[in-house]
Structure 1
Amino acid sequence: MAEATPAGSGEVPRPSAPPPDGMLRIRGGIGGLSFQFEELLAGAAALDGVVRELYALEAEADGVRRALFDYQSDSYSSGSNAIIAVGEAGRDVGRVRAELEHIAAQVRACHREYEFTEARNALLLRIGVSGPEYGSALRPFELPGVRDQVEHGMAMAPAGLALLLGLPAPLAGAVGMLSGPADVRHAIRGLSTTPGLEFLRPRPVTVVGSETAVANVDLSPAGLLRRAEAVGRTSGDIEVIRVDGGNRRAWTVILPGTQLGGLPEGTNPFDAAGIAEGLGYDSQATAGAIRQALRQAGAESGEQLAVVGYSQGGIHAMNLSRDKAFLAEFDLKFVLTAGSPVGGITPESGIGSLHLEHQNDWVPGADGLANADTKDRVTVTLTNELVMPPPQDFGLGPGHRLENYADGAEAVSASRDPSLQASTAALAAVAGAGGTATVTRFSLRREALPAQGVVTAPGPDRRAGQPPTARSAPRTGPAVKPVPLGVAG
């Protein structure tokens, strides 16, 4: 645990945020502030138990001292010395007990200061005044990056809308306080009911084809993200990797980022409407297709798995971590995301996650919420300088490029930060280190809008749990050149 006051200095230990590690700015995990406070409060509770025992010992010593009074006259010198010795021992116990009480009280006072700061920041967020300039003792003179500016703007959206409608500034501030930060989920659901925006509503997603091969796979964080880039080159595809390690099998699911074009309009689950499904409808349809793909790949109930997602894929991946139907069937242990707005998604207890964001990538801040700082959830902000791509390759900006995140993942794996070491170890415990694995690419399709008159091919008629064969069903949509399964990147 990182401490601003080292042990043995005679001062009460106070938690401190992890220092930057090169281009990595780390938040959460076993070195994060929240877990440090959890440890300190647990320690304070343990001290309370010791204090109670010392109170009893003090009382017992005083009882012994008083009992010796009756024998003092038998041998005045030795009797007096015994009474004095027992009395001094009792007072020594009292001094230790008082010091432990003081330490426990100081720890709790430190925690109250932390809670006050968090409550203050939450209040500022509710009134639409937020951003990295608040509660940022680590970098008070650092200008906010694009990611933080977007998150700040999203948090201020209700007050900004009130100003746009002509309300006076004080009243607009009150609107921001009452409504809180922008509720992206509510906004998307509202938009999907607007005439002409029906395509934002979720529609059934099914598996329509698969290809299976045995390949040599790099299962490091960087290797998995590069696989997400390769999977994303084919519209509507996801990848399921089976690793046979020892007495158990484990699975890793790879989900790509947003894809535009390449399939009949509205049939690609990872198009723009897929973002709306992820942020507004908890990935209900896509999660069902992922469960279907896992069953067809041969995954059985209760088997462990990790899910990796880039951009939109990270939203779907994190939604699986709170999907009760999915978790009832599979033992999801870890989620890795890169460039994904997932601050509003809270996973079930015991599921670890590692989130890579770049300070100049606006996409992770698009939901207006920062990722929680917990023991099992680590967020890494990359601060490396970026190379500006040519205009035709600009996309969502240089900070959002997946290769940049893959390079950051390599730095994460090399880091000696305790939070990152624990997080990458948790991922490796499920996915393994790499080697020969069975890889299945699945083609997913969303049901087309009825008004469009598009009929999607039916999914393969296969009982749940039956593994697919290579090319078990034809792909739909335009022909694409497949990416070799053994190539990471």
Structure 2
Amino acid sequence: MDEIAPVGAGESPRPRAPVPDGSLLIRGGVGGINFQFEELLDGAAALDGLVIQLQAIEVEAETVRVALFPFQASSYSSGSNAIIAAGESGRDIRRVREQLQRIGNDVRASHREYEFAESHAAIRLRMGLGTTVFGNGPNPFDLRGKDAVEGVVQDLPRILGWMMGLPPAAANVAGAVAGPTDVGAVLRAMVATPGLAFLKPRSVQVSRGETTMKAVDLSTSGMLRELDEFSARSEGEIEVVQVDKDGGRAWVVLIPGTQPGNPPGGSNPLDEAGIAEALGYNSAETSKAIRQALLEAGAAASETVVAVGHSQGGIHAMNLSQDKAFLAEYRLKFVLTAGSPVGGITPDAGIGSLHLEHENDWVPGADGKANADTKDRVTVTMTNPVSLAPGEELGPWSAHKLSRYEEGAQLVQRSSDPSLGASTATLGGLLGVGGVAKVSRFKLSREAPSRRRAP
């Protein structure tokens, strides 16, 4: 009985865009386009090896066929059949080899098309084409969530050209030449302004607070809930959780979002000035303080660390993934962020990360850069309507609340998407499901600004 070929048999493999999972849009991870292409290119390279082997077998089959010619006269019938069989074998091998070559070539052609499309899209974005970032209502500057803000930040040079009265064509050229806005450079330039010197990073001191034994849920939603509960009643504090698992230890660092100062630039390093340090200076001083807090909590060198942060805290958490001094001391294996602009941060190889964003939250787009699509980096965009508490009015910060991201994390845990499944499995393998753990609070204090004496 003839075998039935599977649907799609004979077609060249092509990556597929991840399918939305309910209200979640997922990008990156093992189901992401980039990793699929990496897998296909690796497969194409393996096919090249098979093609080389088949070429050698094909040559050998032809050699056998030619070697049979002198014996054909001895037994014409059997000799002819042997020659024909050897020839058909060589032709079958050639057909398989050519098909494998065609599949490999098609995969590479598909990858080239993808790279061209990505480059074309990037050029259009730099020229300010193809993306509408302003609202269509009575107020054209009514920005529509994360993507709108990200587009505006990217397109700031062109917008400034408009504001200076340049013709649209000239403004487009100016924007293309300038390229996407470097938010870090803008913040460093602001800090250099005499009137904004209070934004300049200053040394951060660490003092130990209370240490308790308590039940901790180490799932994504559980850690965000723990972060929400303790940050709501603290100022300038981070939490370090010691996790005992399989005879070893792992550590979780929980970093709150921005806590407005009065005035900014005071003793709390997580105030508005902390945003400048995070985006403009790679969290240089805060990273040192987190390392000191881990040391005082009892973390030994080379032990596993997971960093969790909301908003500004997520930037500090993600900056640890590229901090050479921190990575030389501890094995940072995973970063979880909620509502954080971290697209411009490139983590060290082998560090996994999960980024939760909401399409109506403008904060994740504040750096003007989308998160990279890689095997170890997964970005989840929530598209569900913002649920309001009784008496709560919809405002610009409604989608940014950490409680919203707890809801999203619960959806992530229930998702069957392969990228999210791999990401949550990685986190579970590092920390387990939770239980009673030692939780330590640490107060971070920014040193007072130095005062110049009057001449």
Q: Determine if contact 1:218/1:435 at 8 Å carries over to the other structure.
A: yes
Residue 178 of structure 2 corresponds to which residue in structure 1?
179
Query: How far 1:70 sits from its partner (Å)?
Result: 1.1
Residue 82 of structure 1 corresponds to which residue in structure 2?
82
Cα separation, 1, equivalents of 2:199 and 2:121: 33
Cα separation, 2, equivalents of 1:299 and 1:445: 21
Cα separation, 1, equivalents of 2:48 and 2:131: 38
1:212 partnered with 2:202: no
Amino acid at match of 1:58: E
| Matching of residues 439-450 of structure 1 within 5 Å | 439-450=439-450
Cα separation, 1, equivalents of 2:148 and 2:264: 36
Residue 403 of structure 1 corresponds to which residue in structure 2?
403
The worse-fitting range, judged by mean Cα deviation, of 437-446 and 117-126 is 117-126
Q: Determine if contact 1:337/1:354 at 8 Å carries over to the other structure.
A: yes
- Three-state SS of the structure 2 residue aligned to 1:321 is helix
Residue 469 of structure 1 corresponds to which residue in structure 2?
none
Q: Determine if contact 2:264/2:272 at 8 Å carries over to the other structure.
A: no
Q: Cα deviations across residues 200-223 of structure 1 (Å, max 9, x unaligned)?
A: 111101102321111111111011
Residue 62 of structure 1 corresponds to which residue in structure 2?
62
Residue 104 of structure 2 corresponds to which residue in structure 1?
104
Cα separation, 2, equivalents of 1:395 and 1:199: 29
Cα separation, 1, equivalents of 2:197 and 2:222: 37
Q: Determine if contact 1:128/1:158 at 8 Å carries over to the other structure.
A: no
Q: Cα deviations across residues 403-442 of structure 1 (Å, max 9, x unaligned)?
A: 1100110010011111001101111222221100000000
- Three-state SS of the structure 2 residue aligned to 1:25 is strand
**Judging changes above 3 Å, is the alpha-carbon distance between structure 1 residues 452 and 306 closer, same or farther for their aligned structure 2 residues?**
farther
Amino acid at match of 2:103: I
Amino acid at match of 1:322: Q
Where does the alignment leave 5 or more consecutive residues of structure 1 unmatched? 1-5, 134-143, 454-489
Residue 329 of structure 1 corresponds to which residue in structure 2?
329
Residue 373 of structure 2 corresponds to which residue in structure 1?
373
The worse-fitting range, judged by mean Cα deviation, of 370-379 and 169-178 is 169-178
**Judging changes above 3 Å, is the alpha-carbon distance between structure 1 residues 449 and 389 closer, same or farther for their aligned structure 2 residues?**
farther
Query: How far 1:17 sits from its partner (Å)?
Result: 1.2
Cα separation, 1, equivalents of 2:58 and 2:119: 40
Residue 123 of structure 1 corresponds to which residue in structure 2?
123
Cα RMSD (Å): 2.0
- Three-state SS of the structure 2 residue aligned to 1:103 is helix
* TM-score between the two structures when normalised by the length of structure 2: 0.93
Cα separation, 2, equivalents of 1:435 and 1:157: 48
Query: How far 1:391 sits from its partner (Å)?
Result: 9.1
| Matching of residues 57-456 of structure 1 within 5 Å | 57-129=57-129, 131=131, 145-233=144-232, 234-261=234-261, 266-388=266-388, 396-451=396-451
Cα separation, 2, equivalents of 1:265 and 1:131: 36
Cα separation, 2, equivalents of 1:393 and 1:238: 30
* TM-score between the two structures when normalised by the length of structure 1: 0.86
**Judging changes above 3 Å, is the alpha-carbon distance between structure 1 residues 347 and 114 closer, same or farther for their aligned structure 2 residues?**
same
Query: How far 1:395 sits from its partner (Å)?
Result: 6.8
Cα separation, 2, equivalents of 1:213 and 1:175: 57
Query: How far 1:301 sits from its partner (Å)?
Result: 0.5
Cα separation, 1, equivalents of 2:106 and 2:187: 46
Q: Determine if contact 2:238/2:253 at 8 Å carries over to the other structure.
A: yes
- Three-state SS of the structure 1 residue aligned to 2:68 is helix
Amino acid at match of 2:193: T
Amino acid at match of 1:167: L
**Judging changes above 3 Å, is the alpha-carbon distance between structure 1 residues 395 and 272 closer, same or farther for their aligned structure 2 residues?**
farther
Amino acid at match of 2:319: N
- Three-state SS of the structure 1 residue aligned to 2:195 is coil
- Three-state SS of the structure 2 residue aligned to 1:252 is strand
Where does the alignment leave 5 or more consecutive residues of structure 2 unmatched? 1-5, 134-142
Cα separation, 2, equivalents of 1:393 and 1:256: 24
- Three-state SS of the structure 2 residue aligned to 1:340 is coil
The worse-fitting range, judged by mean Cα deviation, of 426-435 and 389-398 is 389-398
- Calculate percent identity across the aligned residue pairs: 57
Query: How far 1:194 sits from its partner (Å)?
Result: 0.6
**Judging changes above 3 Å, is the alpha-carbon distance between structure 1 residues 176 and 280 closer, same or farther for their aligned structure 2 residues?**
same
The worse-fitting range, judged by mean Cα deviation, of 34-43 and 442-451 is 442-451
Cα separation, 2, equivalents of 1:131 and 1:273: 31
**Judging changes above 3 Å, is the alpha-carbon distance between structure 1 residues 127 and 391 closer, same or farther for their aligned structure 2 residues?**
farther
Query: How far 1:452 sits from its partner (Å)?
Result: 10
Cα separation, 2, equivalents of 1:401 and 1:337: 13
**Judging changes above 3 Å, is the alpha-carbon distance between structure 1 residues 393 and 296 closer, same or farther for their aligned structure 2 residues?**
farther
